[in-house]
Structure 1
Amino acid sequence: MHAPAPDLSRHEATETLYVQHHRWLANWLRRRMHGDDQAADLAQDTFLKLLDARETPTLREPRAFLATIARRVLANHYRRQAIEEAYLDSLASQPDLHAPSPETRALVLEALCQIDQALDGLPAPVRRAFLLAQLEGLGYAEIACQLGVTTRTVGNYMARAAAQCFFALEA
């Protein structure tokens, strides 16, 4: 028996999209990033997302499809950039004695981005409660006060956020 070849056709379809639309997509991203040189990298990331997909749909409007994926890639890029800036600002306020090594900084930044991605699907109050507890060290009563909910609700929020993080790590 021959092994099915859907992966090959999917790769061929992605290659065709790449050849026909990569330059357009990189320019599209460059305009949205105000000429940032990282636009080419994000265009590559967009096509990598296509390769990671289970299937490549038949497209009537390939540029609209690519732009939709690229918007998500761009949003993730800006989110990661904001996380990195916040982390570096936090490090800048620490004494030099407590400065982590470059390797540790990279690992912490990656972990922060993974947590952010895991929390992304949660409603804003759940995410905020989790971050107030984890980053600011607030207790349930203080969080409940800030969010205008009961401490029981905060407990539910925390359980939901923790489960979300756990299942994201499992995936």
Structure 2
Amino acid sequence: MPADNLSLRLEVENLYVAHHGWLHTWLRRKLGCAHRAADLAHDTFMRLLARDEPLELLEPRAFLTTVAQRVLANHWRREQIERAYLEALALVPEPLAPSPEERAVLLETLCEIDALLDGLPVPVKRAFLMAQLDGATQTEIAATLRISLATVKRYLLKAAAQCFFAMKLE
């Protein structure tokens, strides 16, 4: 393990020992569930371990709050996607419904797509999803969103570039 990674690991370990209980309590108040709070506290510290640079914290609790709020936002976003997915799945006739394994893969894929499109304006995301998931034509997207065909093309190109370059960075 390189010295930088060891240094970061020790920083996170010290932060964990000193503040995990406090963070768990803070998250439990936000969520109303000790089990989910424990999961998100764990995710918060895992996110810190994934960093490349040292923490060098002056205000550890403020820093943990910021990181935990991002983890919490991702959690709520995933729940929202899962709810929408399950609502859409309820409309599928039983014989055509995917297996539990397929559902898990599809949900994970939807969350990955959402993460790739993060930061794009809502109309750009909507146009892209209409084209990719609904199979809508550019003309149909233009009519539905009440925008020009040129704007649809620009939106689709912008979303595709966002996905392509995000995937290239991984």
Same fold (TM over 0.5): yes
Contact 1:50 1:56 in 2 (8 A): no
Q: Deviations over 1:26-75 (max 9, x none)?
A: 11111111235201100000000000011132111111101101011001
Cα distance change on mapping 1:102 and 1:4 into 2, 3 Å:
closer
* 2:139 counterpart residue number: 141
Cα distance change on mapping 1:134 and 1:36 into 2, 3 Å:
farther
Aligned length: 169
Q: 1:89-100 to 2 correspondence within 5 Å?
A: 89-100=87-98
- Counterpart selection for 2:74 from 73, 76, 83: 76
Q: Deviations over 1:90-137 (max 9, x none)?
A: 111111101111111111111000000000121222112112223333
Structure 1: distance between partners of 2:78 and 2:2: 38
Structure 2: distance between partners of 1:128 and 1:117: 14
Contact 2:7 2:54 in 1 (8 A): no
- Counterpart selection for 2:18 from 8, 17, 20: 20
* 1:55 counterpart residue number: 53
Moved more, 140-149 or 156-165: 140-149
For residue 98 of structure 2, what is the amino acid of its counterpart? P
Q: 1:1-171 to 2 correspondence within 5 Å?
A: 5-170=3-168, 171=170
Q: TM-score, normalising length from structure 1?
A: 0.91
What is the identity percentage for the equivalent residue pairs of Structure 1 and Structure 2? Answer: 56
Q: CA RMSD in A?
A: 1.6
Contact 1:42 1:74 in 2 (8 A): yes
After TM superposition, the runs of 4+ consecutive aligned structure 1 residues lying more than 4 A away are none
1:138 deviation in Å? 2.8
For residue 106 of structure 1, what is the amino acid of its counterpart? A
Consecutive unaligned residues of structure 1, counting only runs of 5 or more, are none
Contact 2:44 2:67 in 1 (8 A): yes
